[in-house]
């Protein structure tokens, strides 16, 4: 119940502050009646500010439940965030310096989430901020999560999040799923590495033009009067 209440509040706040347009929900895995089903991996690109995770939580269907892999220090740095996470849940923290042990732990978490029929969500970009519409390097971890769990990757691209202000148009577009190879290659093998590279190549091929198109659509629809630019937060701006 706490998850559904928090989701409704996030959605209302997002609609109030921004002009959020969501498309492509028909690409989500569904049953014969058209109802969304899990499990799958939600891959958000790009991640420039706080709005993208909020949009994923708020505007994806409430079921199946979403569990997000997120930056631990950011998510737990304030008392109200810790309280929210304890009440609502849905966060798997990434801690600095976790290295290979952290990846093993996150893979185990992905297996648990996927095994429960839920959605495992993450934003795979790494490195320095990029100027829109380009995005940063994508970590191959998302490909390994898909290969080792058998879950499809559903890319979700964003436009307009590089510079937030009141009533800014934000585009959120769900793309067709990418299927991992079946049967999966042996863990740690050259075949697995090759499969992961191929999956990442396909992910970039699909998301690069889609993110560029979402950026253009958001720019064209946004007004020139930029008020409440503090909504962007402490994140780097494109300008």
Q: Provide the residue ranges of all domains of the chain, joining segments of one domain with +.
A: 2-23+37-232
Report the percent of the chain where pLDDT is more than 70. 89
Q: What is the mean pLDDT of residues 48-65?
A: 91
Q: How much is the pLDDT for 24?
A: 97
Give this prediction's pTM. 0.92
Rounded distance between C-alpha atoms, residue 131 and residue 1, angstroms: 39
* Residue 206, SS3 per DSSP: helix
Architecture of 2-23+37-232 per CATH?
3-Layer(aba) Sandwich (3.40)
* Torsion sign over Cα 126, 128, 130, 134: negative
**157-196, pLDDT tens digit by residue?**
999 999 999 999 999 999 999 999 999 999 999 999 999 9
Is a pLDDT exceeding 70 seen at residue 239? no
**What is the band of 5 on the pLDDT scale with cuts at 50, 70, 90?**
confident
DSSP one-letter code for 178: B
End-to-end CA distance of the chain: 41
Length of the chain: 239
* Four-point Cα dihedral 105, 121, 216, 207, nearest 10: 60
**129-163, pLDDT tens digit by residue?**
888 888 899 999 999 999 999 999 999 999 999 99
């Amino acid at each position: 119940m706490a998850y559904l209440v928090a989701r409704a509040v996030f959605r209302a706040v997002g609609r109030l502050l921004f002009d959020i347009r969501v498309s492509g929900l028909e690409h989500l895995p569904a049953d014969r009646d058209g109802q969304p089903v899990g499990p799958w991996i939600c891959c958000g690109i790009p991640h420039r500010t706080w709005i993208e995770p909020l949009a994923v939580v708020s505007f994806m269907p409430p079921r199946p439940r979403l569990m997000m892999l997120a930056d631990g220090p950011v998510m737990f740095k304030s008392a109200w965030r810790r309280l929210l996470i304890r009440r609502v849940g849905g966060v798997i923290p990434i801690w600095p310096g976790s290295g290979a042990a952290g990846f093993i732990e996150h893979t185990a978490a992905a297996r648990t989430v996927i095994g429960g029929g839920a959605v495992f969500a993450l934003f795979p970009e790494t490195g320095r901020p990029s100027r829109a519409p380009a995005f940063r390097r994508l970590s191959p971890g998302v490909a390994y999560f898909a290969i080792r769990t058998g879950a499809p990757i559903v890319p979700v691209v964003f436009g307009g999040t590089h510079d937030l202000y009141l009533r800014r148009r934000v585009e959120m577009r769900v793309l067709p799923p990418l299927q991992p190879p079946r049967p999966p290659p042996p863990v740690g093998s050259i075949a697995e590495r090759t499969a992961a590279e191929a999956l990442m190549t396909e992910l970039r091929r699909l998301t690069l033009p889609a993110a560029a198109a979402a950026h253009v659509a958001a720019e064209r629809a946004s007004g020139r009067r930029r008020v409440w630019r503090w909504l962007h937060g402490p994140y780097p701006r494109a300008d």
